[in-house]
Structure 1
């Protein structure tokens, strides 16, 4: 679910696209010229419309064709052209389409891919066009498509995921911890990590990752200004969090290579039995059963500490579409409760509609540890939020992680490292 941003080198092309498509944009909330009713934004649902998805062929071809066929049957006279782009280079492809004036009417965009188009006024405010949007979708999903400095909501949340905690119950029990009552706060986690270190002789870790922007957010730190133009995480609270982690690192509660390029990642360490805790998506145990079938039955889950992180894929509507009513109706159709639920039955994602809360497939466990984890994740979606600003692309996160590493190993003070990270991240925003 998590994505990288590769937009900046194509930003000039995006600016050009405004000129190319400017005469067709108009007011994003202006009424449709076509008369009649039926579309989410008013107007007759008819005619040709294009829909672009991201790497769904061939695995989900039958599913998508079924959704599209049903939409065309519901609305005689509609013809949907389905485009599906490969996974690699998708962000560049979308921005190139926008620059060339060929952005599809409805396009699959995660929030970080949507933001550059919002800045160039290329996407429709779907909340302004569809008054029922906020009532029908979970708040975290719609909030993901609201951006600082830009009024409106620029996408229908299509499908979601979040993280939950996973614990190796065998290791917890061996080292004197109760897997039925795993740590629920950072202080409890550090205390438990100390117990594991002492009783394992340092052979097993409980904690196996350094903090990041999401940890700052969960500590109540405001990461970015309201207008989305500068970072603000160099606060005393963030410095105190780094101080806490530096103490844990100095005490040997985290692997030494957690700060180096050789770090394998906490999920990899968990799978190998080196670490007793990791975070991962709601269907992690199912995939673990393939990678490490002997470990999977020993895993128990618990809710994420603090606010659960939200990972979102959505459907945005081009502001330049010539068939707004049909485009809005199609986006809402693909992302409705029934179609999202059918999609979630086929793969490891969760629906974003409030109506899905009563679907027993997600809300009731089958009694297995994988079923319990799925319910934990689904229940968490009601309060989950996108914790990292979408402006924090890979280059910015690299700078932040480098400064965090310097703070943890004592090469820089926590506040000094955060000040440097904010300064350099702000510069990258301007580049």
Structure 2
């Protein structure tokens, strides 16, 4: 959930807030490595027995009972198996994974979001589950599997576990007050700017519709290729990307965005929405529920709609090291944790969505209870069929920071849009080499 950037906390804690982007290992300097001679796909087929370890990321203590039930079910299904469950704190998890990989002590099944998996794939440390488990291609949603396919590396290096995406949220009361139809909210950038102009004019500049600057996701939704096919170079300095920044710069100059949107004092569009200062925000599927705590009078007035363009996909998954001593049990355990039944049970406890194709017919996700919160959940779930990871895993925190700095210069008019994008691409490419 998406996007970003507070402390390194549990991925679930971040996803149930607004939008999440996991902290990244992609810039940690791990290069290619020779094959370690670890067991390959052929060794993954065999009797499921013996000891197998599973590492999760900050699920204790809130989800201890859930995980213990999942593990107990697996051990019951395979009486010859003993599962050791390891749960690491949210803080410092990336460093822990790097330390384990360097020491050859990664557990048999390990929770790795795609950006954590990439440096291990570059080291040839993870099992290709596409080769080991061909049925995975039809049992999990395409976007989730695609998240574990990396340019320059054949194969799929993780089972998608739980997913999330963003939807739009509109303040129907403000829409009606300012002569807009909350049942027909903007569905493109041009429509958004037009509606923002109406809100400004009729509110006397007291209320905003647009309340954030653009990012890589906005560029991707404009059809801009963010990276080269081989994943070695950023490519978002195109005329189409410059046009997006030009549009936002004109809107900023016109006063359609808050003046502090480019500064360190910017509160964030969800906070502005919650306070009634902005009439639009993007957030995860549970946002209306959390808003009910922050602003109970506003929550019933919120109308959800699908994300503009391609919905962003946020993925957590389970990967298997190539040097696992028990590949058969490791694959079976990863499959068990991520099966439709266990994922559905997890989703009932927290605000995530399952990654299996079998979950499409589950009424818990596919049918609304008639509330606006229920409508938002169904919208988000339906969006998963077309959702994609729009920010490449190579765009780590350092890369996104410098990109955001250049975008801010362009929006403020201190730099030309194409010039800012050229600078961002050059500096981001340099970070990839460092």
> Matches of residues 294-305 of structure 1 in structure 2 within 5 Å?
294-305=297-308
State which of 30, 38, 47 in structure 2 corresponds to 1:25. Answer: 38
Residue 365 (structure 1) aligns with: 368
Of 376, 379, 387, the match for 2:379: 376
* CA drift at 1:9: 7.6
Which one of the candidate residues 283, 287, 291 is aligned to 2:290? 287
Partner of 1:353: 356
What do the CA deviations read for 1:139-174 (whole angstroms, capped 9, x no partner)?
100000001111110000000000000001111111
CA distance in 2, matches of 1:188, 1:10: 41
* Structure 2 SS opposite 1:285: helix
CA distance in 2, matches of 1:377, 1:75: 35
Give unmatched runs, 5+ long, in structure 2.
Answer: 1-14
Q: How high is the TM-score relative to the length of structure 1?
A: 0.94
Cα distance in 2 for residues equivalent to 1:7 and 1:325: 28
Q: SS at the partner of 1:424?
A: helix
Alignment of 1:309-348 (within 5 A): 309-348=312-351
**Superimposed CA distance per residue, residues 388-412 of structure 1 (whole angstroms, 9 cap, x where no aligned partner):** 0000001100110011111111111
Partner of 2:121: 118
1:24-423 to 2 correspondences below 5 Å:
24-25=37-38, 28-29=40-41, 31-32=42-43, 41-423=44-426
Runs of 4 or more, structure 1, over 4 Å off, are none
Aligned residues: 416
Query: TM-score, normalised on structure 2?
Result: 0.94
Distance (Å, rounded) in 2 between the aligned partners of 1:234 and 1:62: 49
SS in 2 for 1:83: strand
Residue 10 of structure 1 and its aligned partner are, at CA, apart by 5.2
Distance 1:165 1:8 in 2: 30
Would the alpha carbon gap of residues 158 and 9 (structure 1) be closer, same or farther in structure 2, given more than 3 Å must change? closer
Once the two structures are TM-superposed, the CA of residue 23 in structure 1 deviates from its matched residue by 4.7
Residues of 1 paired with 2:175 and 2:21: CA distance? 33
Question: CA offsets per residue over residues 305-337 of structure 1, 9 Å max, x none?
Answer: 000000000000111101101100100110000
Q: CA deviation at 1:8?
A: 6.5
Q: Please state how far the C-alpha of 1:3 moved relative to its aligned partner.
A: 3.5
Give the deviation of 1:7 after TM superposition: 3.1
Q: Is the 8 A contact 1:10 1:92 kept in 2?
A: no
Is residue 2:7 matched to residue 1:7?
no
Q: Distance in 2 between matches of 1:288 and 1:97?
A: 39
Structure 1: tracts of 5 or more residues without a match: 33-40
